[in-house]
Amino acid sequence: MEQANGAERLFGTDGVRGTANREPMTPEVIYNLGRAAGYVFGKIGTDTVLVGRDGRLSGDMLECALVAGLCSVGISVCRVGIVPTPAIAHLTGVLSAKLGVMISASHNPYEHNGVKFFKADGTKIDDDLEREIEAAYFGKAHQSVNPTGGAIGRVVERANVVDRYLHHVEQTVPRDFDLSGLTIVVDCANGASSQTTPRLLQHFGAEVVTIHDAPSGLNINEACGSQHTESLAKAVAAHLADLGVAHDGDADRAIFVDERGNRLDGDHILAICGPHLKERGRLHGDVVVTTILGNLGLDLTLNPLGIRVARSDVGDRFVWEEMRSIGASLGGEQAGHVIFAEFSSTGDGLITALQVLDAMESSGKPLSELRRRLIVIPQTTRDIEVPAKPPLEDFPAIQQAIKRAATALGDRGRVIVRYSGTEPLARVMVEGEDAPQINALADDVAEAIRKAIAG
């Protein structure tokens, strides 16, 4: 648990995260988090909470604790088992729940886990609700609510609800959408997409080769998935496939590999889908939203096509908030969270895969050719493990290193230094025209952080 502006915090940029069975991801904390969330949402009329999870080993333990906490303050729970995160976002409203909860650590190793909350409209809860839950948790306000008898919450199990999610996703492409003749390799990251993406691509006629589709609870994201596309590229080559798509453990991301083995990240997806939607009159406001880490090449690629690029803080929740504030229909981040507002209010790896395939089929061009649309400005990143996350501005040596890098780049590059919201990391991103220069500058800033914070 962290301090922020003098107040204790449970939530990071994407829910509550940590190593399973270590604070804050212990059964005791999650039980009381369930009670605090139930207390807050019970006050605004929540009847039922939808709870799903990915397949990591600790999911059973933490789900039991969360469900017990919710029921103990009178909130009933509908358990839907292992499903993708975007399925929870969609199904919360469809199944008339007032709150959805996903137990997942997304792209992180199996030792980690997390809890994300969704409102009935499929959006992640906002800062105000997070702070209200934290206030109830730390202030122990939930201790005043201890119903008995028939007022205790009930638990129901709903099997096969993923079919309702897949039916929704199926409606996001044209009626004549046909993948016959395409061979697609799908890397399921040994996660929740194992039961969704291969099935729907086959439904549309594709020949599908699946890899890393045998979840054991211990192998989620292990040397596979959206973070590790080496095996996907090899499988695409081995099967002479037209492309490959990789999800993360909870399937809210999609990263692609073209038929030549080249990787396409979220910036490539925006550069492909932005013009495609504009041609079809579906790019509202002629604007695409990315984050502050989005490659500056997006501006160079899209601006000449009459498409403006707007930027948000890092995290698909912040991308969505910026999209909503300016009325955008497309947004995303490099990591592969892409939001198509017509169909979802959060990143959805399966919807993203279908939209890229639709753009590809509409153009009649291979993915390698579409990939070349993006003008890429060299970027380099450094991740530095840190024991804590004190304010970076409190360290003169770090600020001096950042200033040196910014001065060296002038107006032809950027330096961004931030803490990860989901991992114990400080992250450095340097962007500029000269690859050796930006690598040297990134190393300098990273070393300053190591000496000042990491020890």
441 within some domain = yes
Same domain membership, residue 297 and residue 244: yes
306 within some domain = yes
173 within some domain = no
Same domain membership, residue 383 and residue 305: no
172 within some domain = no
293 within some domain = yes
pLDDT in single tens digits along all 455 residues of the chain: 655 444 678 998 789 999 999 999 999 999 999 999 999 998 866 679 999 999 999 999 999 999 999 999 999 999 999 999 999 999 998 998 989 999 999 999 999 999 999 999 999 999 999 999 999 999 999 999 999 999 999 999 998 899 999 999 999 999 999 999 999 999 999 999 999 999 999 999 999 999 999 999 999 999 999 999 999 999 999 999 999 999 999 999 999 999 999 999 999 999 999 999 999 999 999 999 999 999 999 999 999 999 999 999 998 999 999 999 999 999 999 999 999 999 999 999 999 999 999 999 999 999 999 999 999 999 999 999 999 999 999 999 999 999 999 999 998 899 999 998 778 899 999 999 999 999 999 999 999 999 999 76
What are 19-35's pLDDT values in tens digits? 999 999 999 999 999 99
Same domain membership, residue 311 and residue 239: yes
70 within some domain = yes
What are 258-287's pLDDT values in tens digits? 999 999 999 999 999 999 999 999 999 999
Same domain membership, residue 395 and residue 294: no
pLDDT value at residue 311: 97
pLDDT value at residue 45: 67
CATH number at residue 228: 3.40.120.10
313 within some domain = yes
Active site residues: 106
Same domain membership, residue 78 and residue 39: yes
- Residue 239 makes CB contacts below 8 A (sequence gap 6+) with 183, 185, 209
Same domain membership, residue 364 and residue 228: yes
pLDDT value at residue 219: 98
pLDDT value at residue 105: 96
pLDDT value at residue 2: 54
CA dihedral 326, 286, 176, 332 (to 10 degrees): -60
Same domain membership, residue 110 and residue 226: no
Q: How far is CA 193 from CA 1, 144, 188, 419, in A?
A: 31, 40, 5, 29
pLDDT value at residue 6: 47
Same domain membership, residue 340 and residue 238: yes
CATH number at residue 447: 3.30.310.50
What are 302-317's pLDDT values in tens digits? 999 999 999 999 989 9
Domain span holding position 81: 2-164
Same domain membership, residue 368 and residue 323: yes
Same domain membership, residue 313 and residue 407: no
Buried b / exposed e over 21-53, threshold 16 CB at 10 Å, is eeebbbbebbbbbbbbbbbbbbeeebebbbbbb
176 within some domain = no
How far is the C-alpha of 168 from the C-alpha of 84, rounded, in Å?
13
Same domain membership, residue 211 and residue 72: no
Total number of domains constituting the chain: 3
Same domain membership, residue 271 and residue 338: yes
How far is the C-alpha of 420 from the C-alpha of 209, rounded, in Å?
34
